[in-house]
Amino acid sequence: MNGRVILNLDEQLIRCIDIEKDRTGATRNGIVVRILENHFTEQQEKQKLYDEWFIAEVAKGVKSAREEPLVEHEDVVKQIRAIIVEAREKNASHVV
């Protein structure tokens, strides 16, 4: 295919591209290329922000694991069960 990409565009998108073509004088290919470049640039920026957030969250978790006391699984289960019992007792009068 000589490095060409064939896109199957819906009618609404083709109309939007044609409107942009008439407005700017650009070619259809030029408009599609610009749209795709903008899309991929935006996706790369979003991925970069996500990666930075993820790395920061992992660092927080590692720091927490090193510096804060760990809670045993059984103790967490007891705490959760106590919260559930308390919520049931508190809301028992609301149940019809």
1 lies in a domain?
A: no
Burial 35-74 (b: 16+ CB within 10 A, else e): eeeeeeeeeeeeeeeeeeeeeeeeeeeeeeeeeeeeeeee
CA-to-CA separations, 31 to 2, 36, 45, 54, 84, in angstroms, rounded: 20, 9, 21, 34, 57
Under the banding of pLDDT at 50, 70 and 90, the label for residue 32 is confident
Cα–Cα dist 35/20, whole Å: 11
46 lies in a domain?
A: yes
Looking at residue 2, its pLDDT comes to 64
HEC profile of 19-86: HHHHHHCCCHHHHHHHHHHHHHHHHHHHHHHHHHHHHHHHHHHHHHHHHCCCCCHHHHHHHHHHHHHH
Domains in the chain: how many in total? 1
> How confident is the prediction for the chain on average, in pLDDT?
88
88 lies in a domain?
A: yes
4 lies in a domain?
A: no
24 lies in a domain?
A: yes
6 lies in a domain?
A: no
Encode pLDDT of 52-96 as tens digits. 999 999 999 999 989 988 889 999 999 999 999 999 988 877 655
Looking at residue 35, its pLDDT comes to 87
Mean pLDDT of 17-44: 90
Looking at residue 17, its pLDDT comes to 87
Looking at residue 11, its pLDDT comes to 82
Full domain range(s) for residue 76:
11-94
20 lies in a domain?
A: yes
42 lies in a domain?
A: yes
